[in-house]
Amino acid sequence: MKEISCKLLVIGAGPGGYVCAIRAGQLGLDTVIVEAGRPGGTCLNVGCIPSKALIHAAEEFEKASHAASGKSPLGITASAPSIDLSHTIAWKDGIVGRLSGGVAALLKKAKVKHVHGWATFRDGKTVSVETETGQQVIRAETVVIATGSVPVELPFLPFGGAVISSTEALSLAEVPERLAVVGGGYIGLELGTAFAKLGSRVTVVEALPRILAQYDAELTRPVTRRLAALGVEVLTGAKAKGFSAEEQALVVQTTDGEERKIEADRVLVTVGRQPLTEGWGLKEIDLDMDGKFIRIDDRCRTSMRGVYAIGDVTGEPMLAHRAMAQGEMVAELVAGHNRSWDKRAIPAVCFTDPEVVSVGLSPEEAKAGNVQVKTGLFPFAANGRAMTLQGEEGFVRIVARADNHLVLGIQAVGRGVSELSASFALAIEMGARLEDVAGTIHAHPTLSEAFAEAALKTLGQALHI
């Protein structure tokens, strides 16, 4: 059995892991990355990318269906559309394959050695990897744990048969006639909305008083209205209790304590994700934990010298771009650079219809921190580009300090607002003030004008409302 020695070992080739390895390779570090699946992790293979492909296909199908109804205000008519979901999934798989292959090529370009298999710690500097050709031992000066997360499985709704996770939902051969979604967070609503547009009768079951509870109610109201328009039934304050295979129904306890059975061909369980901390020898290195997550400091260092952790395994927010930023920073730290990391400017995007974006502090969070703030909101109903896109629903909102006008947070809900997230994050990252945003000339006609208009509104100088 041949051993490999390296400067840096990265365990997991998801967004955080592969970015860390590529950057380390660019910096001249002898780097090895271990991954049991395809490069790209959950996000690229069974998460962010394939879900957005399905969402886009659903949007196109809904447009065609609307045109076929003869009710399009654009004057477009069409024949009744149909969809071959297996063909759609094959198209999605093609995108995933190209991107995964691209990651592998980038690792090779950076001279990173890729070991395919499952890694298990022997000690803080050594892992053994079960590969197709046998066991491989790797010794490293520094180790980065980037094992990611997996869907939470409910004991009374175990995955299998009609009960599926988001992974299986993205590979269905046909559109389910009836779909029950357990969990009203962003994953459940993104996929539930997509299947509703594809023709499924969708019911969402959420135990909390409202959907998308991580966002404030003002942001989520347009999403709630759109779900109703799509015919999606939303049950809040309701708890799933199990699945009756005989009756092909999800058993739910409603707010009044009554039991209700929701007929469903598929039950999509999306109640969150949990860190993947089992099966790779965490007990062998005895790291300090923060609940279920690995405890890290502001430089992603764990309690063991020479061992870092990044991404979902380290806690919220579980976002691919957070993991990427952490991975890049850690590679530079290992190379001897002076780096730190600040999560205040991480945008969170929900790809529902309409989309939701949040960066920095909400008004409630700022006030909870005893910060005096002023806020301003500009509606897309007053934005010319939004009107031409039939996207008048929604707004951009800015939260700023009352004394010096420093921008603390930016939120938006509306069609296509995910593409504004970089501008929002940049403003906070660069320490912009309301006057900076308002004084930046935004191209007309674009959705981005709502950003400048929101700043003007916060300053009391609104021009178009």
**How far, rounded to the nearest angstrom, does the alpha carbon of residue 103 sit from its chain's CA centroid?**
19
Is 372's pLDDT higher than 80? Answer: yes
* Calpha distance 351→365 (Å, rounded): 23
Tell me the torsion sign for CA atoms 85, 200, 353, 318: negative
Q: In the structure, what pLDDT confidence band is assigned to residue 342 with cuts at 50, 70 and 90?
A: confident
Q: Is the peptide bond before 209 cis (omega within 30 degrees of 0)?
A: no
Token code pair at residue 266: 């598929």
Query: What mean pLDDT do residues 36-46 have?
Result: 96
**How far, rounded to the nearest angstrom, does the alpha carbon of residue 84 sit from its chain's CA centroid?**
27
- Give residue-wise pLDDT tens across range 390-437: 999 999 999 999 999 999 999 999 999 999 999 999 999 999 999 999
Under the phi-then-psi rule, with left for phi > 0, alpha for psi from -120 to 50, and beta for the rest, what region is 165? beta
- Residue 13 DSSP class: -
* Calpha distance 327→12 (Å, rounded): 11
Angle at 327 between CA 11 and CA 100, to 5 degrees: 65
Cβ atoms of 262 and 252 closer than 8 Å? yes
Query: What mean pLDDT do residues 152-165 have?
Result: 97
How many residues are given for the chain? 465
* Higher local confidence (pLDDT), 312 or 341: 312
Could you tell me the CA-to-CA distances from 177 to 150, 184, 264, 387 in Å, in that order?
Answer: 27, 20, 8, 33
* Higher local confidence (pLDDT), 71 or 50: 50
Is 341's pLDDT higher than 90? Answer: no
DSSP symbols for 122-189 = EETTEEEEEETTEEEEEEEEEEEE---EEE--BTTB-SBTTEE-HHHHTT-SS--SEEEEE--SHHHH
Query: What mean pLDDT do residues 27-42 have?
Result: 97
- Given 87, 337, 444, 464, the catalytic residue: 444
Is 2's pLDDT higher than 90? Answer: no
Token code pair at residue 281: 């020898």
Could you give the domains of the chain? 3-46+89-150+274-344 (3.50.50.60), 163-271 (3.50.50.60), 354-458 (3.30.390.30)
SS3 at position 414 = strand
* Calpha distance 264→157 (Å, rounded): 13
- Give residue-wise pLDDT tens across range 80-136: 999 999 999 999 999 999 999 999 999 999 999 999 999 999 999 999 999 998 999
Query: What mean pLDDT do residues 161-178 have?
Result: 97
Average pLDDT score over the chain: 96
Query: What mean pLDDT do residues 169-174 have?
Result: 97
- Tally Cβ neighbours within 10 Å of residue 26: 17
Predicted pLDDT of residue 438: 98
Active site residue 444: yes
Predicted pLDDT of residue 1: 61
- Tally Cβ neighbours within 10 Å of residue 65: 17
Query: What mean pLDDT do residues 171-198 have?
Result: 98
Cβ atoms of 7 and 141 closer than 8 Å? yes
Predicted pLDDT of residue 343: 81
Q: In the structure, what pLDDT confidence band is assigned to residue 256 with cuts at 50, 70 and 90?
A: confident
- Give residue-wise pLDDT tens across range 273-321: 999 999 999 999 999 999 999 999 999 999 999 999 999 999 999 999 9
- Tally Cβ neighbours within 10 Å of residue 139: 16
- Residue 243 DSSP class: E
Q: Which of 461, 341, 361 is nearest to 407 (CA)?
A: 361
Contacts of 14 (CB under 8 A, 6+ apart): 40, 41, 42, 43, 44, 146, 148, 311, 312, 320, 323
* Calpha distance 116→427 (Å, rounded): 41
* Calpha distance 65→70 (Å, rounded): 9
Query: What mean pLDDT do residues 323-341 have?
Result: 95
Is 383's pLDDT higher than 90? Answer: yes
Token code pair at residue 27: 């910096």
